[in-house]
A and B are shown apart, each in its own frame.
Chain A
């Protein structure tokens, strides 16, 4: 009889080892992230001043899009081979297992984005002051993107071409996080204190962390039975 923590970490370990086997897939969102940022100076302007003005927004948008791109992997593969249904039948609370999957997913998609963001800040001439709030903000922000995205992914898991619909469903919900995230960076760059906005972002993340696993578990039950 597996304990709760046993099941929790078991799911994380399993998802991570599956991800490691397809290491190529891991890199996709990351490359996407880098490519989008590379296209910006080519299509808009390579001038450092202009790049710096756009940097907070561009990096955040790229992170958002990279997460969206990877959301399919959260439930889709497990759904197609039947292991998702197995997971849902297990005695452990579904929300806990869903949370474990989201964490594993974030480790593989959100975390690399966060780790590479200072490099992108450099490429887009973001002033030094912006880097720390960018890092902190992206940790919180990508977590929220993954959590909210999981709800959408759960609703659309059983649908054909669910991924396009998924982006449509989830993007309005991302708006506040995007706004707060870019604001922290912009305020730091402008020399203002950003603690207040960061606290709002942290509060939003905490709230989402509490609510999203339940919503996603509920959504899975609905989506699968369809």
Chain B
């Protein structure tokens, strides 16, 4: 069962709100970044590689 009387009480966490939400917030944000950053890096890597291949291809033609 839901442990709090209403949503406001949920946010307030009996006075511990800033601590709980602060801890969860930062941790989950960091974890999301940890998972997404490598994806972005891979995309950039492949894009750079593609550009380099195209550049080589054009140099070969010319």
- Indicate if A touches B (C-beta under 8 A): no
Contact residues of A with B, CB < 8 Å?
Answer: none
* Chain B interfacial positions (CB closer than 8 Å to A): none
